[in-house]
Chain A
Amino acid sequence: MSNDENLLLKLDGVTKRFPGVLALNAVSLEVRAGEVHGITGENGAGKSTLIKILTGAHSCDTGQIVFAGQQLKSLTPRKSMQLGIACIYQELNLIPHLSVVENIFLGREVRAIKGLCVLDRKGMLEQATKLLDNLGLHISATARTGSLGIGHQQMVEICRAVIANAKLIIMDEPTSSLSEKEAEDLFRIIHRVKAQGVTVLFISHRLAEVKQNCDRVTVMRDGQTVAQVDMAETSVDQLIKLMVGRDIKNKYPKEAAAQGDEVLSVSGLNRKGVLRDINFTLRAGEVLGFAGLVGSGRTETMRAITGADRKDSGQIQVFGKDVAIRTPRDSIDAGIAFLTEDRKEQGLVLIQSVAFNSTIVKLEQHARFGILKLKEITRVAERLARELQLRTPGIESPVGKLSGGNQQKVVIAKWLLSKARIFIFDEPTRGIDVGAKVEVYKLINALVAGGAGVIIVCSEMDEVMGMADRILVMHEGQITGELSGADATQEKIMYAASGMFLDGTPGAGQAAQGGELAQV
């Protein structure tokens, strides 16, 4: 009972049923006041639904919520806000044209004279500046919010929650779009906020972060809470075991394949202000990793190679032959598949079916004289769905209804069907759960075993070290280091990623340039 007094939030037997799906099944959750409480679980485990119950976006069918001693049957968005529950979503809710202080006070502006609509600008500015200082943030309160990096914008959201006197701040996958450095800053802020007595509910896939930053963790699986553990006494491996209900023996089931001829060679790739003199090659059977901070030009490199963006100069050879790639179509015809990081915006037509999406690249191979062979499309899509163990109601169901991991499988399916020999994965496992990650890695193994060349762009260092045969590190649009998978350490990668050239990088000219850069 003494424990109960400490509880800020308690859920008891909360159940939420959607047509055909039991999203939450008698979920219990106990969050103590002033702790950082992690919620983790695979996609589809019910984390999002749980958040929506807490923010009042969904009402629960049965069950009870107790918040700060108040018993509640259900929440509405308004009620949730009044109680002091704030949620920071993956997509930030800031108005980019307004200043930081305006965003912090959005909707709860301080009036100079009560009842009048004259704003106390000076007071708000002072308060915001003080808060930013307290949290140790080097952000100007008058800066235009849109000009800040995504990490800083997130912190502005946190400030907003603090100003609103939030008792509980829910963060939904807050680090998914942050670089490691930004994520570290975020955790620093989280701990400061915690020190001010605010409770944080931290939802994340990244178990290392959960381990480092949470006091206690609730693990969800299949709509149920399966465990609530003290983080000090629990290892990451134990967490994984709880999440998936089994051991994942090897997080990165890397299998080296025999390396063959060069399949891709990029030389002198430039794009003004974005990329500078990118040179590298890729062999058949090789997994080449691109590491670096967010914004270091890795995605931009891939976009320039595949014709998604224009390039100013640069030669691309595929299988030893020069190819002119101006549009994505040219790149597809050359045998390159580009699996973008943003599946929803750039990878899939969400309202269309699995069959539609998986066959849309090189659709003409399923047609004669432009007339579709519908039966063949169905057959091919069903075969792939089976091979990739796609979890879907059927190949005619829209991909927007699938979980992140399954959406990624549809993206993979569509590029497998394009008959590409070079696969570029940009953040192949972003936003997908542990089990599905392993499946993606195994697919990458299968691709290189079949003689394809694979490039993976990863922000998680673990992942790139675990999966790549060779790693290129980028910084500000340049390649600053090359490491073999065996030699790579987090320190070496970070060193190169922060702009220092590693010894033994290919090309003396580049190293010289790097010297200058390092001095600047």
Chain B
Amino acid sequence: MSEGTQAINGADPLPFVKKKSALSGRLYSLGVLISLLLLCCVMAVLSSRFLTVDNLMNVASQAAVSAIVSIGMFLAILTAGIDLSVGSILALSTMCMGVVCVNWGWNPYLSIAVCLGMGALLGLVNGLMLTKLHLPHPFISTLGMQKMARGIALVITAAAPISMFPKQVQFLGNNSVGRVPVSFILVAVLYILMFLFLNRTTVGRYIYSVGGNKEASRLSGIKVDNILNLVYTISGFTAALAGLVLAGRVNAVYPLAGIDYETDAIAAVIIGGASFFGGVGTIGNTIIGVLLIAVLRNGLNLLNVDSAYQTFAIGAVIIVAVYVDVIRQKVLKSGK
């Protein structure tokens, strides 16, 4: 271009150097994966029942609900937000399904549509509270939604559960193909789809962009509000879908379902390396986070550890994960 630029740039216009950040990102996911494998080894040593096909399938089907909820949570955190209402949306959506399906005798497929539609709608409301009412942070709006949705879920049947669902409704949660639970296949399909969506589509890239820098995204012509609405709608939808799986597995819906699910989902996403500041994280790591928590819970169950200690352990794991993230950020920064 000019003698000036060449002196600055050196002979090679694109000197490829070591890709440090990409490497450290991979190191982190490798670290989480290794932790998961280590945990599995420890559990296998401590309990002979751990490494049986039955138990692993059990882990898989138990992890399924959390895994599906975590998809939406991942998107919310990716856009520097959070969705505290997933557990309540799960409860309200499935309660609606219970009412129309069992009490009113609607067609099972239509009832499933009601469940998923209700989840998406509630999620959209979360999004609109953020983008139209301009509430300061989704922490507030989804906390409000958490309480409102739970309240309505309790009111609908005066807190009574509904059971005896037709087999179509139970299919996702209760059936297996051979020994592989349908819910496990569903999770695999959903994560693959979400991976492709986030990495291979324009909208997926917009989500990362909005998460990384909202204002720059807006000025680049991205309709930020639409993206955020979509993210929270998906989060509501996946919560309802998780509810459908749960309803199928226990053949019942109950208004107190899904309590604390947001905690597990947030933990899984954070353990998976997503950043609360937005724009950072991969869906593949989220599933590792989900599995880590599931194995931990399952293992502690097998060892007959009191559930109070389990709760403690999950809390400790979250803090360790976040701390590892802090250290990682420091290493990245100091390397600059």
Contacts and interface: CB of A to CB of B under 8 A. Distances in A.
Given A367-B201, A386-B13, A436-B8, 9 more contacts: A347-B216, A348-B213, A351-B212, A356-B208, A360-B222, A370-B201, A372-B201, A392-B14, A435-B5
Contact of A435 (B4, B205, B334): B4
A108 to B, nearest CB: 28
A159 to B, nearest CB: 31
Contacts of B15: 391, 393
A392 B13 CA distance: 9
A442 B16 CA distance: 25
Nearest to A339: B219
A394 interface: yes
Contact of A389 (B9, B21, B205): B9
Contacts of A390: 13-14
Interface in A1-58: 18-20, 42
B17 A442 contact: no
Contacts of A374: 200
Contacts of A391: 8-10, 15
A400 to B, nearest CB: 8
A491 interface: no
Interface string B192-222: 0000000011110110110011011111111
Contact of B14 (A367, A386, A398, A439): A386
A338 B219 contact: yes
A385 B21 CA distance: 19
Interface in B144-176: none
Nearest to B10: A391
Given A390-B14, A401-B336, A328 B5 contact: no
A332 to B, nearest CB: 4
5 contacts: A246-B7, A328-B221, A346-B219, A390-B14, A391-B9
Contacts of A327: 218, 221, 223
Interface string A354-398: 001000111110010011101000000010011001111111111
Contacts of A470: none
Interface in B314-336: 334-336
Given A352-B212, A394-B14, A248 B4 contact: yes
A356 B13 contact: no
Nearest to A353: B22
Contacts of A439: 1-2, 4-5
Contacts of A438: 2, 4-5
A308 interface: yes
Given A20-B17, A398-B21, A363 B212 contact: no
A308 B219 contact: yes
A475 interface: no
B179 interface: no
Contacts of B334: 18
A414 interface: yes
Interface residues of A, number: 58
A345 B9 contact: no
Interface of B: 1-10, 13-22, 200-203, 205-206, 208-209, 212-213, 215-223, 279-280, 334-336
A93 to B, nearest CB: 18
Q: Name the prevailing secondary structure of the B interface residues.
A: helix
B323 to A, nearest CB: 20
Contacts of A394: 14, 16-17, 19
A389 B4 CA distance: 11
A137 interface: no
Contact of A246 (B3, B9, B202, B216): B3
Interface of A: 18-20, 42, 244-246, 248, 306, 308, 327-329, 331-333, 338, 340, 345-352, 356, 360-364, 367, 370-372, 374, 382, 385-386, 389-398, 401, 414, 418, 435-436, 438-439, 442
Contacts of B2: 438-439, 442
Contact of B215 (A333, A345, A351): A345
B18 A393 contact: yes
B200 A372 contact: yes
Q: Which 3 A-B pairs have the closest CB atoms?
A: A349-B212, A393-B17, A332-B221
B7 A328 contact: no
Contacts of B215: 345-346
B213 A349 contact: yes
Given A20-B17, A328-B218, A360-B220, A351 B4 contact: no
A245 B7 contact: yes
B216 A348 contact: yes
B20 A345 contact: no
A166 B4 CA distance: 40
Contacts of A385: 13-14
Contacts of B336: 18, 401
B160 to A, nearest CB: 44
A382 B14 contact: yes
B226 to A, nearest CB: 10
Nearest to B223: A329
A382 B6 CA distance: 18
B205 A372 contact: yes
A239 B219 CA distance: 37
